[in-house]
Amino acid sequence: MPLTLNQFLLLVITIAVVVAVTFLVNLLRQLRKTAREAEETLIEVKALVGETRETGRILQSRIEDVGELVQASKKTAVSVSEIAWFVAMKILRPSSKYWPFLFPLMRLGWRQAKKFKEEKNVR
C-alpha cells in the first residue's frame, strides 16, 4: 500500500515531534538534576564561606598578637643594644689598658685551678 504525500508528511512530522519531545524531556531532566546539584553546591559554598570568615577572624586576632610580639621584640632589641653599648663604652674600653696585666694573671689562676682540681681527683 503506497503512502500519499499527506500521509508521508504526517509520518515525518510525527517522527520529528517525537524526537523533539524526547530531546526536550531529556533536556528538562538534565536541567532539573543540574539545578539540584547547584543548590547542594550553593549550600556547601555558604558553609565554606562561613568557615572562611571564622578563619579570617582567627587570623586577624593572631596577626594582632604577632604585631604586639614584634613591638616587644623591637623594645628588647633596643634594650640589648643599649646594654651592649654601655658595656663596651663604659666597662670594656676603659679597662682595656689593664688587660695586658689581667690576662696573664687570669691564665695563671686558671692553670692553678686545673692543677688543684687534678690533685683533688687523684686523691
For residue range 80-116, list pLDDT tens digits in order.
999 999 888 888 788 778 778 888 888 999 999 998 8
Q: Is the pLDDT of residue 120 over 90?
A: no
Phi-psi region of 14 (alpha: psi -120 to 50; beta: other; left: phi over 0): alpha
Question: Whole-angstrom Cα distance, residue 7 to residue 4?
Answer: 5
- pLDDT at residue 54, as a whole number: 92
Burial (CB count within 10 angstroms: exposed 0-12, middle 13-18, buried 19+), residue 116 = exposed
Q: How many domains does the chain have?
A: 1
Residue 123: band (very low, low, confident or very high) from pLDDT cuts 50, 70, 90: low
Residue 41: band (very low, low, confident or very high) from pLDDT cuts 50, 70, 90: very high
Which single residue is written with the C-alpha cell 503512502? 3
Global model pTM greater than 0.75: no
The alpha carbon of residue 74 and the mean position of all alpha carbons in its chain are separated, in whole angstroms, by: 24
Owning domain of residue 102 = 5-122
3-state SS string for 58-107:
HHHHHHHHHHHHHHHHHHHHHHHHHHHHHHHHHHHHHHHHHHHHHHHHHH
